[in-house]
Each structure stands twice: as structure tokens, then as C-alpha cells.
Amino acid sequence: MTDKELFIEKMKKRTKKFAVDVIRFCDSLKTCKTSSVITYQLVKSATSTGANYRATCKARSKNEFFSKICIVVEEVDESEYWLEVIKDADLSNDNEELERLLIEANELNKVMSKAKNSSYGNK
């Protein structure tokens, strides 16, 4: 496998792990009406991050890649937003895991944004 192929596989696994970790984390949130609404939004955006990254890897053109990577950036950024809301609203029972997920969302956001920005001029 090339370095690029290894990177792609690593990111597929990483984005899927992020989704699974978010799903498990959401089960540990404080029980209230607000948590259920935020959980719904967070699970949607976190799982969409990985699913859309996989779709990005199957892009048939540079334009399609750019379009799909833009969706990935939006979804991971939204995930980071909801995690920040959970933190600010003190809805977590597991602040250590919340901080880890915030760091992971931020790192994924940086990686995907770099891929988006790098591909913009290459369309």
C-alpha cells in the first residue's frame, strides 16, 4: 500500500471510531429533555462525518471530491459544536471522555479542512 492509501484507511478507521465513541458517550449524558435533543444532533453529525468521508474516498472526479470533503468538514465541525454545547451546559457525566472527544473532533476538523483547502485549487 502507498502512503496515501495507508492514510485513507487510517482516516476511515479514525472517523468510524469517532462515531462509535460519540454514540457510547451520548449514552452517558445526564438524562433530561435537552440531552435527548443534543444527542440526536450529535450522533447524526458524528456518524455522518465517517460515512461522508468514505464517500469522499470513492469520488469520481476532483469536483465530486471537493463537494464531498466540504460535507465532511461541515459535519465534523457540527460535531465539535455540539460537544462544546454539552461542555458549556454541563450535561456530561464523563468530562474526561468529553475532553478527549473535543480534542479528536478538533483534530479531525483540522485534517479535513486541510484536505478541503488543498483540493480547492486542484479542481
Q: What is the per-residue pLDDT across 30-74, written as a single tens digit (0 to 9) for each?
A: 999 999 999 999 999 999 999 999 999 999 999 999 999 999 999
Of how many residues is the chain composed?
Answer: 123
| pTM of this structure | 0.93
pLDDT, residue 121, reads 65
User: From the CB of residue 107, how many other CB atoms can be counted at a distance below 10 Å?
Assistant: 14
* Predicted confidence band of residue 122 (pLDDT cuts 50, 70, 90): low
| C-alpha cell belonging to residue 14 | 479514525
| Of 25, 18, 80, nearest in space to 50 by CA | 18
Nearest to 46 by CA among 67, 16, 70, 71: 16
Complete domains list, the chain, with CATH: 3-117 (1.20.1440.60)
Q: What is the pLDDT of residues 73-106, one digit of tens each?
A: 999 999 999 999 999 999 999 999 999 999 999 9
What percent of the chain is predicted at pLDDT more than 90? 93
